[in-house]
Amino acid sequence: MIPILMDTNHSILQSAKHFFFGTLFSRATGLLRDMAMAFWFGSAPEVAAFMVAYRLANLFRRLFGEGNLQAGFVPHFETLRVQEAKKSFLFYRDTAFSLFLSLSLVIGLMEAVLWLFSQQLTGSWAEIATLSMWMAPGLLFICLSSLNSAFLRCQKKYFITAASSAFFNCVWILAAFGAHYFPLNQAIILLSASVTLAFFIQWLSTAQGARKEWASHLHWKEWFQPHLFSCDWAQLLKPMMVGIIGAGALQFNSALDAVFGLIADPSGPAYLWYAIRIQQLPLALFGIALSGALLPPLSRAMQEGALDRYQDLLETSLKRSAILMIPCTFAMFTLGGVGLNLLFGRGDFSSHDIQETLLCLWAYGVGIVPAVFVLLFATGCYAQKSYGAPTMAAFMAVLLNATLNVLMVFVFHWGAVSIALATSLSSFLNGAILYVYLPKKMNCSFWFFLMQLTIVSALSALFTVGIGHLWIGDVTWKMCWDGGAFFTRSTKEQLIQFMGMSALFVGCFFVIAKIAGLGQIFSFITARMDKNGVKRPIAKLEDV
């Protein structure tokens, strides 16, 4: 037996902060990447086809890497580490080699299927199949990178795991810069090939950090003597297969969203792409940061049978995420127009493109809070090695999403925005089902706290819109119905509008929160704790 470090809300917050700064760096480069794509390529149908191909080619990435792999790997790694440290490192080694061989086979089959489709299809669909073939090999590197990230998080190394995708984004930006000199059809092929190269660079960035960790327990000779498909690998596959079923449904639905978007509007996938990239920014910075930092401590709490500590860690993370995400939701409605115009309002991205993207952003914004709660609720289930509830919740959410897509696209003809709205509504159902399966339910004070926070955020948004109307017109609402008439193309004016509206919203939020007696929400995030993890309360907002 080896000693296990004590996990507290403070230690999770510190880990989440490291994850946050790494994710912030990654998302900043991601925004630059999307700005480059919008500036050089706009929302042309060829670009929409590229984005559909990207989602289709990365379908298996969500199945074999990221959430499923990490959710199965971390609890089992922690279980083995309790028994013997070296045994857990051998498990990581065996998993890496077994995953490499399995993915190589999967990629070979994918390429064969995509080639057959490319021969049978015509038009944009044949182009999508061809572009997917260029991107598919990247699956190997991104899944191995996800395994390295899960391993590093168990070692409490969070920054590099979150920042690794910045390398991916930088390669993409360089490829976009070079590709825009070529004819559009050739440029899209070059971008597709660069995706695989970018994933390879991302894997290298995590492989170096992982090597430093396992080298302290394993000799080089031991590393290259793996037990392929060992018993521990089989133990990992059991939860992974259950998770793959649920994630497969979700990712199939995500790929189907891109297809529905293409049917609703030739440029629909582009609008959805740019909108969801903005929606995922707070989700990745705060929600994924907390859930990524939360899984190892929750797993350790379950291994020790400390259910009260498990509940406290989960509830505290839910409150912290709500404090950040509920204001972000209302800020997205209030600042979405001026924000999108600042980021994309130049080059080949027209005012009409901003208008359509804004509608999709609002529709996605409805589901930010439930999406974060789904991440944390699912993390709580994975820590218990319970994979059935997330799978069932995913299936129910997929069924609702697909039904709404068919209804809104083919019956009501609402266009690309309906795809985003269906995604958000299905997140509510997903979160509600997962909540039912929690070992303990949240008390009334938790829900009252969320209600107070929602009211404060809503009032802040209303005041900001009112003052903004007197300043620069109906920048939030009217421009959507006037063909983007209020979208200035001057970078200076774009920056002034965004900074002014943002300052208004933040100022209103702080003032209203103080008047409402919610100063404790800020101390809740920044509360000082002693070395044992005991919170030292900060009584006043001015003390923060």
Question: pLDDT value at position 480?
Answer: 40
265-323 residue pLDDT tens = 777 888 888 888 888 888 776 766 666 667 667 777 777 777 778 888 888 888 888 88
Q: How far apart are the C-alpha atoms of 326 and 328, rounded to whole Å?
A: 5
Q: Which two tokens stand for residue 175?
A: 């490829």
CB of 354 closer than 8 Å to CB of 363:
no
Say yes or no to pLDDT of 457 above 90.
yes
Closest CA to 130 of 185, 175, 177: 185
247-257 residue pLDDT tens = 545 556 666 67
Q: Which residue has the higher pLDDT, 482 or 394?
A: 394
pTM for the full predicted model: 0.68
Task: Write the CB contacts of 64 (distance below 8 Å, at least 6 apart in sequence).
Answer: 99, 102, 103, 106, 139, 143, 240, 244
Q: How far apart are the C-alpha atoms of 285 and 412, rounded to whole Å?
A: 35
Helix (H, G, I), strand (E, B) or coil at 536: strand
pLDDT band at 242 (very low <50, low <70, confident <90, very high): low
CB of 229 closer than 8 Å to CB of 61:
no
Say yes or no to pLDDT of 330 above 90.
yes
Mean local confidence (pLDDT), 373-389: 79
Question: pLDDT value at position 291?
Answer: 65
Q: How far apart are the C-alpha atoms of 59 and 56, rounded to whole Å?
A: 5
What's the 3-state SS for 497-532?
A: HHHHHHHHHHHHHHHHHHHCCCCHHHHHHHCEECCC
141-145, 462-466, 526-530: which range is least confident on average? 526-530
- What residue type is 191 in one-letter code? L
- What residue type is 448 in one-letter code? F
pLDDT band at 91 (very low <50, low <70, confident <90, very high): confident
Q: How far apart are the C-alpha atoms of 544 and 542, rounded to whole Å?
A: 6
Q: Which two tokens stand for residue 404?
A: 């709404």
Q: How far apart are the C-alpha atoms of 416 and 74, rounded to whole Å?
A: 38
Task: Write the CB contacts of 76 (distance below 8 Å, at least 6 apart in sequence).
Answer: 91, 232, 235, 236, 239
Q: What is the CA radius of gyration of the chain?
A: 23
- DSSP letter assigned to residue 535: E
- DSSP letter assigned to residue 7: P
Alpha helix locations (H) across 304-416?
307-344, 351-365, 368-383, 388-406
Backbone φ, ψ for residue 535 (5° rounding): -70, 135
Mean local confidence (pLDDT), 72-77: 77
What does the domain layout of the chain look like in residue ranges? Answer: 9-543
Q: Which residue has the higher pLDDT, 349 or 295?
A: 349
Q: Which residue has the higher pLDDT, 58 or 481?
A: 58
Helix (H, G, I), strand (E, B) or coil at 322: helix
Q: How far apart are the C-alpha atoms of 384 and 467, rounded to whole Å?
A: 49
Mean local confidence (pLDDT), 17-38: 80
